[in-house]
Amino acid sequence: MRFLLTRPLIDSESTAGQLRHQDHIVHIHPLMFIASQETKPIDFSGYQALIFTSPNAIRAYDYPRTAKTIMVFAVGDKTAKTAQDAGFKDIISAAGNVEKLSETIKSTIDPKDGRLLYLSGSDVAGSIDEDLGRAQFHVDVRIIYKAKAAENADQEMLLLLKQGQIDYIPFYSPRSALIFKELIKKAGMEETLEGVTALCMSPATEAVVTPLRWKRILTAKSPNQSALFKLIDIDL
């Protein structure tokens, strides 16, 4: 199978390694680039837990030892693994999406035990701080990175699509799907997708790519990478 991966480079390289190990052909052309936001040093004292909805939030800040002793709630297993690799000790993975993460937090800790700190990008899906606020949690939000969208589609990527060299494109979020859709339309290359299957992490992501002319659109039953690739009988 031949794949086009468009996530930020570090995320795409990890997935590409797993796919190539199974003898699949993988092309990486990121459509988003992660940049750390300038931020004042964060005072982690007084927080009972930290919230991460992306591995990028863990990579984007130099966390002190004191922060790594605080309980961490991670949206999924990959984010949890990134936190573990960074030295965090007490980690709970929701193994799902933002809604499941919120429910996991509400069922695990008591709002009376202290504030929560949500380390976030400038563009996120869902409003976990608002949802937790309705459950009487006090959530502070610090934006520490920005995912910048590519302004134009990579010419090599367009050539691969034009030549029919891509079978599958996985989409992990509505935003990444929207960036891809806009760049393909800008390049006037919508017809190059008629032999390509879109793999979507969620119904919201599927809704974004549906207007394009695909061979097929497949949507994962659970919002995680394992379920995404099981759509085509690949175990990651």
Residue 141 shares a structural domain with residue 165: no
Which helix (H) or strand (E) element contains residue 178? helix 174-186
In this model, does residue 124 exceed pLDDT 70? no
The arithmetic mean of pLDDT across residues 81-86, rounded, is 96
Average pLDDT, the chain: 94
Domain count, the chain: 2
Which helix (H) or strand (E) element contains residue 19? helix 9-21
pLDDT (0 to 100) of residue 125: 59
Q: pTM value?
A: 0.79
Q: By C-alpha distance, which of 144, 145, 90, 141 is closest to 118? A: 141
Residue 79 shares a structural domain with residue 26: no
Tell me whether residue 125 is in a domain. yes
Q: What is the CATH number of the domain that holds 89?
A: 3.40.50.10090
Q: Which domain holds residue 23?
A: 2-31+150-230
Q: Which residue is associated with the tokens 């390509």?
A: 196
| pLDDT single digits (tens) 196-232 | 999 999 999 999 999 999 999 999 998 889 999 999 9
pLDDT (0 to 100) of residue 122: 84
Position 41: which residue type? P
* HSE of 90, CA atoms in CB hemisphere, 13 A: 13
| pLDDT single digits (tens) 148-206 | 899 999 999 999 999 999 999 999 999 999 999 999 999 999 999 999 999 999 999 99
